[in-house]
Amino acid sequence: MSARRPTRAEIDLAALRHNFQEVRNTVGDDCDILAVVKADAYGHGVAGVAPALAEAGASIFGVALVEEGVELRRLGIDQPILVLGSAFPGQENDLLEYRLTPVIYDLDCARRLDGLARNAETGIDYHLKVDTGMGRLGFRVELLDEVLAILKQLKNLNMVGLMSHLAVADEPERPLTSVQYQAFVEVVARVEQHGFNPRYRHIANSAGIYSRALSGCNLVRPGICLYGGLTGGPYAEEFTPQPVMHFISEVAQLKIVPPGGGVSYGHRFVASRRSRIAAIPVGYADGYNRLLTNRGDVLIHGHRAPIAGTVCMDWILVDVTDLPEVQIGDRVTLLGRDGNEFISAEEWADKVSSITYEVFCGISKRVPRVYVDPAASM
């Protein structure tokens, strides 16, 4: 196919590297960085993002699924890959074939992996996950001594990492994060008492990196902050991310609607004046949330223009009456910056009662990711 519709997600690799360097500046050179690229690099496209992060200095990559780890290897990523969701039954051989490191959070998985390694006459490295307060995955702290005694008997497994996960690090006023950090310090000591010496000790996600000192940890797991999330609030002075994704389209049609005329499904927008309406080829099938009906804005020529009426599967309509210079083919920014105006993922999320993660991950596969690197052209 030689040409596509103009709707696309432009991924700024220079901004990605800037955000990675922000993390590096915060944690220092003695702490390794695990770049989380699960869910197709939070919707940014792992094929372009992972090589850029590897070049920037990521020590390890984190994925949710074995399938995602396999994809990274096929892309040529050679760094260790941690499978945060571990391996489900039947996926164990892929761990060996593609040199993936599982997280172990239940003993059935540990025993399966030990048996696989024994039969293959090899060893399997893993990270042990302990639940210090998230209440999701991981061994409960009160069962840790029993678990460690069993793991000690699984001679074909090698604990190279010890981890936990923070539940409310993005709410720094809540005491749970401090409680979890203290529990993790005690977990590290107990693991060492049982004769294990994991190379990596890690608990901090993006918010955790900026919310507490990381004493005792030598690895951090930035995710959303790499992609320009985690802005404002308590992090504004410590972290100055640059937006990595710009969700872009173009004006496809312009139409005059008379006073009293309605547009789009349900006529949820009725013109109160002679209105100039632009049709943009993007819709909820692309990840432009239907809840932005009559609530969202786009940017054209550095100015805001409101959504007019219902967001359709493939189209949105925009009121450009106050922007008479708008013409067919003009660039439309749905998410990102145009001149002095900026539509952030946080703004979008607030309008649809969601979170930035869902905004990024919701940009669908039919929207091509186009990688741009302003620094490379200088």
| CATH number, position 141 | 3.20.20.10
Stretch among 83-92, 142-151, 195-204, 212-221 having the lowest mean pLDDT: 212-221
Q: Which residues have a Cβ under 8 Å from the Cβ of 16 and sit 6 or more positions away? A: 44, 49, 52, 53, 56, 226, 227, 244
Of the three residues 196, 229, 262, the one that is the final residue of a domain is 229
Active site residue 265: yes
Residue 94 placed within a domain: yes
224 and 264: one domain?
no
> What digits encode the pLDDT tens for the residues 282-302?
999 999 999 999 999 999 999
Give the phi and the psi of residue 113 in degrees, each rounded to 5. -70, -40
Q: Predicted confidence band at 315 (pLDDT cuts at 50, 70, 90)?
A: very high
Buried-exposed string 228-237: b where 16+ CB fall within 10 A, e elsewhere = bbbbeeebee
Confidence of residue 234 (pLDDT cuts 50, 70, 90): low
List the Cα angle 52/244/232 in 5-degree steps.
125
Which is catalytic among the residues 152, 255, 265, 365?
A: 265
Torsion of CA 102, 105, 111, 117, to 10 degrees: 10
Number of domains in the chain: 2
Q: Are residues 250 and 308 in the same domain?
A: yes
Report if residue 5 sits inside a domain. Answer: no
Residue 91 in domain: yes
Residue 64: pLDDT over 70 = yes
Question: Do 75 and 215 belong together in one domain?
Answer: yes
Question: Please, which residues have CB within 8 angstroms of residue 22's CB and are 6 or more apart in sequence?
Answer: 225, 239, 240, 241
Q: Are residues 113 and 215 in the same domain?
A: yes
User: For residue 374, what pLDDT is reported?
Assistant: 73
Based on the fold, state whether residues 213 and 122 are members of the same structural domain. yes
| Residues 223 and 250 occupy one common structural domain | no
Asked whether the beta carbons of 222 and 338 are under 8 A apart, the reply is no
For residue 292, give the CATH number of its domain.
Answer: 2.40.37.10
Residue 210 pLDDT: 80
**pLDDT in the model for residue 215:** 72
- pLDDT of 2: 67
* Shared domain check, 131 and 34: yes
Active-site pick, 38, 42, 105, 288: 38
- Read off the pLDDT of each residue in 209-232 and give the average, rounded to a whole number: 83
Clarify whether residues 38 and 146 are in a common domain: yes
Check whether residue 22 and residue 143 sit in a common domain: yes
Mean pLDDT calculated for residue range 29-38: 96
Residue 197, domain extent: 13-229
Residue 364 resides in a domain: no
Residues 91 and 46 in one domain: yes
What are the structure tokens assigned to 171, written together? 């709410």
Backbone dihedral angles phi then psi of residue 312, each to the nearest 5 degrees = -95, 175
Residues 320-369 have pLDDT tens digits of 999 999 999 999 999 999 999 999 999 999 999 999 999 999 999 999 99
Res 267 pLDDT > 60: yes
Residue 231 pLDDT greater than 80, yes or no: no
Residues 172, 294, single domain; the answer is no
Rounded distance between C-alpha atoms, residue 191 and residue 202, angstroms: 14
Q: How far apart are CA 378 and CA 374, in angstroms?
A: 7
